[in-house]
Amino acid sequence: MAVDYYIINATQRKFLGLICNRPNHATVPFFYADRRVGGLGTCRLNDNADIWTIARAAQFLTCRDPTVRNICREQLHNTIRRGFRNEHPGVMPVGEYFSGSVDGGLYRLRYAEAGSNLWTLARQAAKRLGVRIDVSGDENLRIVADHVSVCPFKAVRGLRKVARQRYTRDLISDKSHQGVVATDLSLEDKSKDMARLVSCRTSLSFRDWRYLHRVRLDILPLRGHSWFCSQDQDTSCRRCGKENETGFHVLNHCEEGLQLATKRHNTIQDLLESLLVKQGHDVTINNPREKPLSWLCEIPRSLSSTSR
């Protein structure tokens, strides 16, 4: 029975959209891009099916059991011979076959009456994903895609990483505000804070987690967004009333919010001070301020400590 992955993928995205409180105009790469840049990090179901097909074919060919390995290789060789008919090459082009090449007699395979087996499915899957299988030796089989090269028993993880990287590039290259947010998050390539927020180990409540995705995509229903309010309506901030109400303003410039940010910063500073004192350091707080701090400039505070 043929599987319509287009319908299944659309159903999967709809279900994930309900969980994440995602609006309909969020881009498709958001579901499959890396969590580090604001994506969900899931795998498209048809890509996942192709990845497992390639992985299983490669694992059978490098199986530790010599009986299983030899049977699988003979099956593969018989499948390739059908394309060459009476012409038997000295060396079986296994790598070229899996990579979807049509050189030599391989183009005849599409017309051969061989039916479908694991090797023909792996060939089709590798062609769809742009995967090359390097068979430079009997025991040295590598699966190569983009700049990633993995051995068979790590094929699933490696190819899923390749798929995420491709969708991540698609999300970053998006010209909408969603792509701009992803581009900003990608500048910090060493931090895993964003990925940790949407993992199963997140410290956020489920209610907060639902709003997190809208914040990351910058698609909160704020007045400053043209898709939410028309030009005839008031776009000023509902709290301070001074600037357009956008996600950047709410998080970085709103005076009402900056007071809370200052309070949070003071709490963290006091915690650091108490920890340094417990470690036996003399702590001095430079330039203390009580007014709301501005994120447009550096925080004019520093902690200097000396050992006792």
pLDDT per residue as tens digits for the range 1-40: 456 778 888 888 888 877 777 666 677 888 888 888 878 8
Higher per-residue pLDDT: 244 or 213: 244
Strands 140-145 and 132-137, by their bridges, are antiparallel
Which are the contacts of 216, defined by CB distance < 8 A and separation ≥ 6? Answer: 38, 181, 185, 194
Least-confidence region, from 85-89, 117-121, 138-142: 85-89
Q: For the whole prediction, is pTM greater than 0.75?
A: no
**Which pLDDT belongs to residue 115?**
67
pLDDT per residue as tens digits for the range 176-227: 767 777 776 676 666 666 566 666 666 667 667 667 667 766 677 787 766 6
**Which pLDDT belongs to residue 161?**
92
Question: CA-to-CA distance for 57 and 118, rounded, in angstroms?
Answer: 7
In this prediction, residue 139 has a pLDDT band, given cuts at 50, 70 and 90, of low
In this prediction, residue 159 has a pLDDT band, given cuts at 50, 70 and 90, of very high
Which are the contacts of 113, defined by CB distance < 8 A and separation ≥ 6? Answer: none
